[in-house]
Structure 1
Amino acid sequence: MNLGRQRPLVLDHLRSFEAVARRAGFGAAAEELHVTQSAVSRQIKSLEDELGAPLFTRGTRRVELTQAGQLLLRAITPALGRIDSAVRQIRQLRGRAQVSLSTFPSFASLWLLPRLPTFEKGQPAIDIRISATDRLLELDDPDHDLVLRQIRPEDAPPGAIRLFGEVCTPVIGASLADAIARGAAPPLKSPKDLVDCTLIEMDDDRASSDVLGWPFWLQQRGLSQLEPRRWISVNFTHQQVQTALAGQGVALARLPLIHEALERGDLIEPFGREGRMTSPWAYWQISLNSARPRPELESFVAWLHEAAHETRVAIGEEG
Structure 2
Amino acid sequence: MRKPYDLAPLGDLACFESAARNLSFKQAAQELNVTPAAVSHRIKALESELGQGLFTRQYRGVELTEAGALLFVALQRGFETISDAVVRIRARQDRAGVSLAATTAMSALWLTPRLAAFWKAHPGVAISQIIQDDGTGHGVDLSIHYGDPAREADETRVLFHDRILALGSPEFAAAQGIRDVQDLARAPLIHTQSGTNPYTEWPDWFAAMGIEAPQGPGFYLNSYLISLNAAEDHIGAVLGWEGLLGGSLTSGRLVQLVPDAMASPSPFYLRIHNRASANARLFADWLAAPEA
Q: Same fold (TM over 0.5)?
A: yes
Alpha-carbon separation, structure 2, partners of 1:122 and 1:82: 35
**Could you say which residue in structure 2 is the equivalent of 1:213?**
201
Letter in 1 for 2:166: P
**Could you say which residue in structure 2 is the equivalent of 1:61?**
none
Letter in 2 for 1:239: I
Residue from 142, 145, 150 that aligns with 2:146:
150
Q: Is the 8 A contact 2:272 2:281 kept in 1?
A: no
Q: Is the 8 A contact 1:237 1:253 kept in 2?
A: no
SS in 2 for 1:114: helix
Alpha-carbon separation, structure 1, partners of 2:250 and 2:72: 67
Q: Is the 8 A contact 1:145 1:290 kept in 2?
A: yes
**Could you say which residue in structure 2 is the equivalent of 1:301?**
284
Alpha-carbon separation, structure 1, partners of 2:98 and 2:179: 46
Q: Is the 8 A contact 1:166 1:255 kept in 2?
A: yes
Alpha-carbon separation, structure 2, partners of 1:277 and 1:157: 29
CA offset at residue 245 of structure 1?
1.9
Letter in 1 for 2:159: L
Deviations 1:219-244 (A, max 9, x none): 2333324311x211111222222221
SS in 1 for 2:34: coil
User: Alpha carbons of 1:32 and 1:257: their partners in 2 closer, same or farther (altered >3 Å)?
Assistant: farther
Alpha-carbon separation, structure 1, partners of 2:71 and 2:182: 68
SS in 1 for 2:161: strand
User: Share of identical aligned residues, percent?
Assistant: 23
User: What aligned pairs does 1:125-136 form with structure 2 within 5 A after superposition?
Assistant: 125-135=124-134
**Could you say which residue in structure 1 is the equivalent of 2:189?**
199
Alpha-carbon separation, structure 2, partners of 1:256 and 1:106: 13
**Could you say which residue in structure 2 is the equivalent of 1:164?**
160
Residue from 222, 229, 232 that aligns with 2:210:
222
Alpha-carbon separation, structure 2, partners of 1:83 and 1:255: 45
**Could you say which residue in structure 2 is the equivalent of 1:8?**
none
Which 5+ residue runs of structure 1 have no aligned equivalent? Answer: 1-10, 54-75, 312-319
Which 5+ residue runs of structure 2 have no aligned equivalent? Answer: 1-12, 44-54, 56-61, 74-79
Q: Is the 8 A contact 2:185 2:213 kept in 1?
A: no
CA offset at residue 310 of structure 1?
4.3
Pair 1:267 & 2:254 matched: yes
**Greater C-alpha Rg:** 2
Deviations 1:186-209 (A, max 9, x none): 201111112542200012445734
Q: Is the 8 A contact 1:218 1:224 kept in 2?
A: yes
CA offset at residue 98 of structure 1?
1.0
Q: Is the 8 A contact 1:208 1:281 kept in 2?
A: no
Deviations 1:127-180 (A, max 9, x none): 211111134557xx6x42212222214313353222221532110124434xx1
Residue from 253, 256, 274 that aligns with 1:289:
274
Q: Is the 8 A contact 2:98 2:128 kept in 1?
A: yes
CA offset at residue 118 of structure 1?
1.8
When normalised by structure 2's length, the TM-score is: 0.68
**Could you say which residue in structure 1 is the equivalent of 2:51?**
none
Letter in 2 for 1:241: L
> Paired residues, what number?
249
Deviations 1:36-85 (A, max 9, x none): 44749979977x946999xxxxxxxxxxxxxxxxxxxxxx9xxx899679
